[in-house]
């Protein structure tokens, strides 16, 4: 039975390599510290109320602040922001992930990327645990749009852009 589960997980991983997703950087501010993480496991949830959901591994450095109920921002990256995605998914942690990019925001709220394709500021609404991840639900309170539609896309283990 265990090898069957492993086979399904391996097949799922291979299948999901075919699912192209926009790359985002999720940001938050918790106890005076800014946090950022690149992700693709983000989705719209509802338009009434306007809401998004995030799937965050419980081992990720961003998980603690989100699980504590911190407000957050989902920043959709532009096709030219691959280096920023790499910075926010690599070895760097905490404030070092903000070394690149034009970040702004209120002192008591989540930072947002000024030249992101779109930035969605959210207040924490709910959380559900499942397997290795938490599903975080946020109610969208503000939306910022920038530039033409040209998102950074991740598919089959690499970055690309929409043709």
104 lies in some domain: yes
- Which runs of E-coded beta strand occur in the chain? 21-22, 24-30, 33-39, 42-47, 50-57, 72-76, 103-104, 112-113, 118-130, 133-145, 152-155, 158-161
**Residue 11 domain-assigned?**
no
Q: Residue 52: left (phi > 0), alpha (psi -120 to 50), or beta?
A: beta
For residues 52 and 23, give the distance between their C-alpha atoms in angstroms, rounded to a whole number. Answer: 15
- Which residues lie below 8 Å from residue 72, measured CB to CB, with a gap of 6+? 26, 27, 28, 54, 66, 110, 121, 122, 124, 136, 138
Domains held by the chain: number: 1
Sign, Cα dihedral of 100, 159, 153, 71: negative
User: Is 16 a domain residue?
Assistant: no
Q: Name, in order, each residue with C-beta under 8 angstroms of 18's C-beta and a sequence gap of 6 or more.
A: 155, 156
* Residue pLDDT tens, the chain, 163 long: 555 666 898 999 999 999 999 999 999 999 999 999 999 999 999 999 999 999 999 999 999 999 999 999 999 999 999 999 999 998 888 899 999 999 998 888 999 999 999 999 999 999 999 999 999 999 999 999 999 999 999 999 999 998 7
Residue 7: inside a domain = no
Domain contains 56:
yes
26: containing domain:
21-161
Question: Tokens for 7?
Answer: 């086979």
Residue 79 lies in a domain: yes
Q: The domain that contains 111 carries what CATH number?
A: 2.30.110.10
In a domain, 109, yes or no: yes
The predicted structure's pLDDT at residue 44: 97
1 within a domain of the structure (yes/no):
no
């Amino acid at each position: 039975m265990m090898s069957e589960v492993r086979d399904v997980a391996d097949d799922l991983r291979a299948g999901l390599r075919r699912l192209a997703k926009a790359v985002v950087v999720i940001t938050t501010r918790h106890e005076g510290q800014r946090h950022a993480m690149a992700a693709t496991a983000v989705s719209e949830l509802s338009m009434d109320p306007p809401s998004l959901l995030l799937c965050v591994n419980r081992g990720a450095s961003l998980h603690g602040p989100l699980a504590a109920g911190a407000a957050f921002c989902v920043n959709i990256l532009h096709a030219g922001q691959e280096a920023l995605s790499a910075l926010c998914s690599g070895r760097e942690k905490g404030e070092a992930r903000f070394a690149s990019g034009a970040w702004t925001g209120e002192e008591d709220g989540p930072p947002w990327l000024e030249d992101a394709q779109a930035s969605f500021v959210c207040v924490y609404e709910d959380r559900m645990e499942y397997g290795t991840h938490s599903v975080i639900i946020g109610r969208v309170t503000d939306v910022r749009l920038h530039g033409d539609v040209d998102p950074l896309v991740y598919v089959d283990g690499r970055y690309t852009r929409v043709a």
